[in-house]
Structure 1
Amino acid sequence: MLALLMAFATACGVLQLAALGSATRTVRLGTLALAVGSGLYGCAMIAVLLQFVYTRSLSALTGRGLNDIVTIAGYTVDPVLEELVKITPLVVIGCRSRARVQWRLTDHLLVGSALGAGFGLMEALLYYGGRSGAALAFP
Structure 2
Amino acid sequence: MKNVSISGKTVPFAPEPRQDGSAHSTEAELMKFLTNTALVLALALPMSIASTVPADAGSTIERACMKSNRRAASKPLCGCIQRVADQMLTRSEQRMAAKLFKDPHRAQEMRQSDRESHEVFWKKYKAFGKSAGNICQ
Using structure 2 for the length normalisation, give the TM-score.
0.30
Q: Which has the higher strand share?
A: 2
Higher relative contact order (CA 8 A, sep 6+): 1
Larger radius of gyration: 2
Q: Which has the higher helix share?
A: 1
Using structure 1 for the length normalisation, give the TM-score.
0.30
